[in-house]
């Protein structure tokens, strides 16, 4: 099997797992809903996990159809690097902070493991092996903060409508805005540290390659 075929197969499996997990989670939240359908769907799209896994699935699908890195927005090395940062944060926060707060079973357990473990690990591995990294620099790390910052504003505004928040550490109803801001700053620092780590890995990898 050629390198290109292996790469395409790897992408296909990540994309397949991603879209399957996203649709499975949507099905489960609709089946078990206690609110109107529209509100339930809005709640579904309030999760950073869901939005970021959608981003991963889109990137992988775009890479399958566009072999050239940079052929479209979602195949740019800078976008793929940022996506790695976001999906790594998804895995870290869930497995370190949130995993012990509930104990899903059956299909919900399957969706959870795909969204929070399998896809973060597999996409990170794909990025490490295949994605060009010469374009990444320390300034890129700060640009990658735009997405989580936009999410923070989005979730606060959406929470005013839904009267609920997707994560306990940003639940304004329970802990108030001062603690939400404090927690968000801590999470923002985590994003920046992971961003620095990704750029450092990229620089080390580029430095090892022969000119």
Residue 210 confidence class, pLDDT cut points 50, 70, 90 = very low
Cα–Cα distance, 132 to 113 (Å, whole number): 28
Tell me the pTM.
Answer: 0.94
Under 8 Å between Cβ of 169 and 97: yes
Taking the alpha carbons of 126, 128, 134, 137 in that order, is the dihedral positive or negative? positive
What tokens were used for 30?
């609709």
Between the alpha carbon of residue 34 and those of residues 37, 38, 88, the distances in Å are: 9, 11, 31
Compute the average pLDDT of residues 127-142: 95
HEC assignment per residue over the chain: CCHHHHHHHHHHHHHHHHHHHHHHHHHHHHHCCCCCHHHHHHHHCCCHHHHHHHHHHHHHHHHHHCCCCCCCHHHCHHHHHHHHHHHHHHHHHHHHHHHHHCCCCHHHHHHHHHHHHHHHHHHHHHHHHHCCCCCCCHHHHHHCCHHHHHHHHHHHHHHHHHCCCCCHHHCHHHHHHHHHHHHHHHHHHHHHHHHHHHHHHHHHHHHHCCC
Q: Count up the domains in the chain and report the number.
A: 1
Reported as a single tens digit per residue, the pLDDT across 16-34 is 999 999 999 999 999 999 8
pLDDT at 4: 65
pLDDT at 3: 59
Between the alpha carbon of residue 175 and those of residues 71, 90, 97, 137, 148, the distances in Å are: 45, 22, 16, 37, 20
Between the alpha carbon of residue 187 and those of residues 87, 89, 109, 145, the distances in Å are: 14, 9, 25, 11
pLDDT at 41: 96
- Domain range for 55: 3-208
Residue 71 confidence class, pLDDT cut points 50, 70, 90 = confident
């Amino acid at each position: 099997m050629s390198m290109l075929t292996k790469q395409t197969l790897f992408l296909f499996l990540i994309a397949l797992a991603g879209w399957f997990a996203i649709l499975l989670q949507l099905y489960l939240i609709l089946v078990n809903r206690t609110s109107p359908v529209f509100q339930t769907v809005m709640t579904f799209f309030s999760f950073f996990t869901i939005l970021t896994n959608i981003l991963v699935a889109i990137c992988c699908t775009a890479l399958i159809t566009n072999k050239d890195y940079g052929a479209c927005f979602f195949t740019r090395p800078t976008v793929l690097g940022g996506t790695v940062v976001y999906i790594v944060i998804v895995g870290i926060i869930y497995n370190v902070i949130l995993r012990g707060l509930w104990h899903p079973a059956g299909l919900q357990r399957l969706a959870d493991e795909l969204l929070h473990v399998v896809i973060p690990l597999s996409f990170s591995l794909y990025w490490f092996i295949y994605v060009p990294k010469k374009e990444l620099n320390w300034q890129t790390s700060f640009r990658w903060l735009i997405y989580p910052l936009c999410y923070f504003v989005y979730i606060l505004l959406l929470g005013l409508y839904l009267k609920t928040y997707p994560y306990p550490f940003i639940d304004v109803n329970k802990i108030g805005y001062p603690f939400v801001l404090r927690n968000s700053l801590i999470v923002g620092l985590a994003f920046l540290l992971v961003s620095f780590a990704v750029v450092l890995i990229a620089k080390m990898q580029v430095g090892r390659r022969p000119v």
